[in-house]
Amino acid sequence: MRKLILTAALAFSFSTTAVSADFSPQDAADLDRLSDALNAIHSLKGEFVQQDPNGATEEGLVYIQKPGKMRFEYKPPSAVLIVSDGAKVAVFNRKLNTADRYPLWSTPLNLLLSDHVNFRRNTKILSIERQNGTLVVRARANSSRINGNITIVFSDPGLELKQWTVVDAQGLATTVILRNVETGVSLQPDLFLTHG
């Protein structure tokens, strides 16, 4: 369904309280570089393309203001709007006039929207791979109710966030691809309102 990042994303809760995996010196260095690159981004806007498990494609605009704020506006005919105000994520369906809300910490968006990303010390990070000009980070979910995983792709050497894929407990994958991204932009606070 169109709850994009959230339907599968709610499976994930990223924590840094336990001991992290052992990484090779090269892997650790790359994870630190990626963490630094994400921590340097405080705001961005761009376009996204979402590929659903059923093969459907939707597009829209994305806005991020760290820490914790983001907005995914789907283009018509979709009636979905997803907004995080820094504490909770609201999924609006304007056609049905509904709004579902979830704690931001319970989604993988929390990892991407944090001001203090540390992939190397994050206990959910499973691996980092180098593939054709990209760095691919894989992480797992840890929930008593739901299991799944997320794969995040960065360009290399530019270290730009390019896409992520969330696979839910049923093995269904949703991919979000970013394009035409601008960082360091000024964004209006009302973009991130989760009421009404």
Q: What is the mean pLDDT of residues 88-107?
A: 86
Tell me, what's the pLDDT at 139?
86
C-alpha distances in Å from residue 52, one per residue of 48, 49, 120: 13, 10, 30
Tell me, what's the pLDDT at 9?
42
Please give the residue that has the higher pLDDT: either 143 or 53. Answer: 53
The answer to whether 35 and 117 have CB atoms below 8 angstroms apart is yes
Q: pLDDT per residue over 123-182, tens digit each? A: 888 999 999 999 999 987 655 444 568 899 999 999 999 999 988 778 889 999 999 999
- pLDDT higher than threshold 70 for residue 71: yes
The domain locations on the chain are 4-181
User: Tell me, which fold does domain 4-181 have in CATH?
Assistant: outer membrane lipoprotein receptor (LolB), chain A (2.50.20)
